[in-house]
Structure 1
């Protein structure tokens, strides 16, 4: 049986394979940036998210990433947003 995780955007439970894991990584002197953990092996706390722009926007609106990852301050979300919208970072 596959592990079940909760999406931080819509709060629905789903199988781990159908969700994206995101983690907070240090990004220069500016703070933390959310990055997609493709292999679910990066160190640290992870948050799980449906790979849809709707769940991403809901998580940002609710400030769910900071709570789920237990970090304070502002998290940069452009990397994850670009990944979900199908655009590539410059």
Structure 2
């Protein structure tokens, strides 16, 4: 049975393989394609809608437990597969 994670954008539960892991490096959100970077990760569907919802709701900061603003440009520029 595959692990299940919750998307920080739409709050839907989904298999880990269908979500993109995002980590923070020096206040910059970084997509973790292989889900192997160290540190706390947040999971999001790799769609424009879910990424935008997570940014709008400031869900990445809460999920990653990072105080203050995050640079979201890298995750916004990430070539999304489904949207």
Structures share fold, TM-score greater than 0.5 = yes
Give unpaired runs (5+ residues) of structure 1.
Answer: 27-31
Q: Give runs of ≥4 in structure 1 deviating > 3 Å.
A: none
Unaligned runs of 5+ in 2: none
Aligned partner of residue 67 in structure 1, secondary structure: helix
Query: Does the CA-based 8 Å contact 2:46-2:80 persist in structure 1?
Result: no
- Quick one: which of 46, 68, 87 aligns to 2:41? 46
Question: How do residues 18-37 of structure 1 correspond to structure 2 at under 5 angstroms?
Answer: 18-26=18-26, 32-37=27-32
Corresponding residue of 1:17: 17
Q: CA deviation at 1:84?
A: 4.0
Structure with bigger gyration radius: 1
Pairs aligned (count): 81
Distance 1:2 1:9 in 2: 21
> Once superposed, what is the RMSD of the aligned Cα atoms?
1.2
Q: Which has the higher helix share?
A: 1
Secondary structure (helix, strand or coil) at the match of 2:78 reads: helix
TM-score (normalizing by structure 1): 0.86
Residue pairs, 1:42-81, within 5 angstroms: 42-81=37-76
